[in-house]
Chains A and B, each alone.
Chain A
Amino acid sequence: MNIKIVDSWLREYLDTRESSSQIAKELSLSSVSVERVEKVDNDSIYDIEVTTNRPDLMSIMGIAREASAVLKNAKFNDLKTKTIPNSSTKFPIEIKNDPKLVNRICAVVLEVKIGDSPKEIKDRLENSGIRSLNNLIDVTNYVMREIGHPAHVFDFDLLKTQKMIIRESKRGESVTTLDGKRHELLGEDIVADDGTGKIIDLLGVMGTANSVIQQDTKRILFFIDNNNPVNIRNTSMSLGIRSEAAILNEKGVDPEHCLKTLLRGIELYEKIANAKVISEIFDHYPNKPRTTTIIVDSEKINRVIGVDINPQNSVEILNKLGFKAKRLGEKIEVEVPTIRADVRLDEDVIEEIARVYGYHNLPSIVPTFLPNKTLGFANNFYFEKRIKNAFKYFGFSEVYTYSLVSEDLFDGPIENAVKLKNPLSKDLTYLRNSLIPSLLDVTSDNKAIEEFKVFEIANIYLKKQNDLPKETPMLSGVLKKKHASFYEVKGVIEQALNDLGIKNLIFKKSQKSSIGASIYIDKDYLGEIEVLDTNIIDFELNFEIILKHATNSKVFKPFAKFPPIIEDISVICDAQTQEVVNTIKNQDEKIVDVTLKDTYKESRTFHIVYQDFEKNLTKEEVAKIREKIVSVLKKTFNATIKE
């Protein structure tokens, strides 16, 4: 949450001789981040980012208190409000509250004169980023910025029933807010009902058009309500009303500030709107927060911060921040004020001490201990990096596509998809079960480029009964090129896996796609190569299976002592190359390698390496084996052999 704080206003509550830029710097280092200091006429404006746990700093008072602690020689002057003005007139409105919804209400009725605010108030509001409207509304904004508690004002004469029933809205009810917008409510909003079912306020978020200040308002109900933050956030987010009041209320503001805010408001109305209090003050306070006390050990403070801090120093820091701290020997007892509901544990107290002590005053020490876990060299991350590099050097470019896809990009029946409950758009609704559709999208996004190769390693997500989806990393790619060759893609896969120590790949005619291959490592199904058309070939491999088989282990094979004999043999038959190779290999253990050397028309030439590791092979021995090969090929495949 960002807030603009006007320097002159801040200095009403902060005694310091530091410049605005120095204040900004010290606050940034030890308290809240001052993003900018803007100079205007005779003033400066701090643009401050306040973290959500510190709604108490969304005010002049809050920042003044912090600044007094982080600056040297600075003093905080707390706001002093005058005592409750006495009025004998009974508070005229019957308010029925639901304590689950509203923690405290302070209210009063005033007779006023509507008009413009004086220049000083106008300037301060405008410099704070708040539009000045008229004196009656300006006061509510002024006290909100000064103290940090939102305030509201009704035209008293529009509250005809003089009743206010605070309840949760029902789904389908509607209101028109003071900005003239009509909203259909979803239920669970905190509303005030005038007893007839008519909604006269959307509490803590925005007033309604039917009860707000008019041009001729004469009497007002000045109303400070402290609401349940959960309801406020729901209303504010679902209706899209991000008013400053809503932003403060959804973070939770301190109900202890309600009365102070009311009194400060009355004082300002008297000053700038000729106000006269015409009712007693109404103060309904069902949920009073409790103060807590924390006792922290000095030794723990030093251990967490990393340097020794004098306990007396800690006590002073805490007291300046508004805590009531005192030393109990080596311990510090800290009473936490209600505005600091964020401080609950030792660690919270230690943070207060550490930040004001100054993080820049702490040393910087890299911890040298070794973790309990070890991860060998050739781990999954190593293989992933290695194969990504292989693809890179084979000319593939890596892409990152979204894991979330549209229904069109989901592969197969959509009921199987892991689906988002609250997608950002139709395009990002399902968790994908294949990377291929996304990669083909990349292909069509690069239509103009005739030749390219892309790949990606990312998870796919498969639905499981009553459990998290199974996340499986896949290695997928697309090759686009005129007359793209299946063998080029196959070769890339073979070599990339070869580099990971995987040699026993088996390619079978695909059952899934019309043209393509199913790939196995031994019995494990690895994935598919799919020839989409003459120019586009894609592949998808289960990277988990690759990791299962990848190895970095090495075995040295002794050099052959005797030279091999190498022969080529040409075969014409219908069998697949792999079948022929396997058949040849199986004929004799002296056949150490068989590869397809050449294909010419229907004839395939196989390269056969014979080797005996014990002795020199003779031509006669080889001839015998060859005879066997020829006869088996003839018999098994009805082959014609050209030697």
Chain B
Amino acid sequence: MEEELIGIKNAALSFILEAEDLRSLEETKLQFLGKRGKLTLAIKEVTKLAIDKRPAFGILANEVKQTIEEALEEKGKSLSNARKTNLLEKIDVTNPGIKPALGHLHLVTQAIEEITEIFEKIGFIKVKYPEVEWDWYAFEALNFPPNHPARDDWETFFIDEKPHPKYGPMVLTPHTSSGQIREMTTNKPPIKMLNIAKCYRRQSDVSHVPMFHQFEGLAVDTNLSIANLKGVLDYFVKSYFGKDRVSRIRPYHFEFTEPSFEVDVSCGVCKGKGCKLCKEGWLEMGGAGMGMVHPNVLKNCGIDSNKYSGFAFGWGVERVLMMKDGIKLDDVRTIYSDRMEFLEQF
């Protein structure tokens, strides 16, 4: 009987040794340790032994079972490792991956997000105001004289509706500056506003589209000066265009600011030395106006211009986007292309 156990053990071990895969190992396990397995049946034979011989048999049987189980486990481990290695060998790491879906946010959205984050860091609060406005908010309260060219049919879109008895004709906002009036008539200083919105002008060429976006900043507090306006400009230029870029302001004219400025940014290509792409080291931030809020504008909004002063700026989102290093967009109309070939580039 004991020889039989030893025989079973040896047989099992040689089967285990020869097993080539997990499946045949599993068969071996059943063959020896299953309900009707050889060892199981052999152990049941214990009843045929004399009582005094049973303990020794029991000990041996246990030893055999343990040995077989250990061998099974060990072989199992090495087989499954081999399987993994085998699988790995079949992977071509240069095959394309299975990609999750990835769409694209529009360039204008990406620029708006960047601009928003930059100004929010210095406390400007984003707002949203109407795109269709009364003349009063778009021009009159902004100190535009009645016969200003921007107020005529050639530059601004008018809506075919009856004028408001107090606020005048209905227009499509030609700039985000109407937001200044909305902000100052509904909110008290201190004010730090950021208004980013669609604007509309009656023009279409390489550098103009009838619908575009502006971002407008307005700060109103006691004792704000030109030096503060310069501070915000420099901060924006460094944050948006790069920390090696500098800005400068030059005299200009806008109805709603006094003094008014135009803005230049140092050329990113020649680093301000002067090159083909710039004017003696400077790039003009076209259509970018800023200035100290005109006292008439403060007055029109019910803010005491003797106590408070402010500065404001309004720049084209598409313009600053096109001025970014390396973007290579030279026709603003391309930004409004709806071809997937364009949209999927960004």
Contact = CB atoms under 8 A, between A and B. Distances in A.
A415 to B, nearest CB: 11
B128 A359 contact: no
A8 to B, nearest CB: 23
Given A399-B338, A420-B160, A303 B103 contact: no
A230 interface: yes
Interface in B268-304: 279-280, 284, 292, 294-295
A304 B309 contact: yes
A12 B159 CA distance: 52
A458 B259 CA distance: 35
A468 B147 contact: no
A30 B251 contact: yes
Interface string A340-360: 001001111011001100011
Contacts of B326: none
A303 B223 contact: yes
Given A364-B227, A385-B113, A359 B101 contact: no
B211 A366 contact: no
Interface stretch (A173-181, A441-449, A575-583, A615-623): A441-449
A370 B190 contact: yes
Interface residues of B, number: 89
A233 B147 contact: yes
Nearest to B262: A33
A424 B210 CA distance: 8
A214 interface: no
A419 B162 CA distance: 12
Interface string B105-148: 11011000100100000111110101111100000000000010
B292 A403 contact: no
A197 B326 CA distance: 63
Interface string B147-172: 10100111001111110100000101
Contacts of A54: 253
A329 interface: no
Contacts of A366: 122, 228, 231-232, 235
Interface in A355-408: 355, 359-360, 362-375, 379-381, 385, 388-389, 391-404
Interface residues of A, number: 91
B210 A452 contact: no
A83 interface: no
B33 interface: no
A368 B224 CA distance: 11
A345 B295 CA distance: 9
B64 interface: no
A308 to B, nearest CB: 11
B258 A428 contact: no
B309 A398 contact: no
Given A364-B234, A420-B159, A359 B102 contact: no
Contacts of A394: 101, 103
A420 B158 CA distance: 6
Nearest to B99: A395
A33 B280 CA distance: 13
Contacts of A399: 106, 338, 343
Nearest to A458: B198
B56 interface: no
A229 interface: yes
A52 B253 contact: yes
Given A420-B157, A420-B159, 11 more contacts: A306-B225, A354-B259, A359-B248, A365-B230, A372-B190, A392-B104, A398-B104, A422-B158, A424-B204, A446-B339, A468-B134
List the 10 shortest-distance A-B pairs measured between CB atoms, nearest first: A395-B101, A306-B227, A306-B225, A351-B259, A51-B253, A366-B231, A371-B192, A347-B258, A421-B158, A398-B106
Interface of A: 25, 28-33, 35-36, 51-54, 229-230, 233, 237, 303-307, 342, 345-348, 350-351, 354-355, 359-360, 362-375, 379-381, 385, 388-389, 391-404, 418-424, 428, 431, 441-442, 445-446, 449, 452-454, 458-459, 461, 466, 468-469, 471
Interface of B: 100-106, 108-109, 113, 116, 122-126, 128, 130-134, 147, 149, 152-154, 157-162, 164, 170, 172, 187-193, 198, 200, 202-204, 210-211, 219, 221, 223-228, 230-235, 248-253, 258-262, 279-280, 284, 292, 294-295, 309, 335-336, 338-340, 343-344
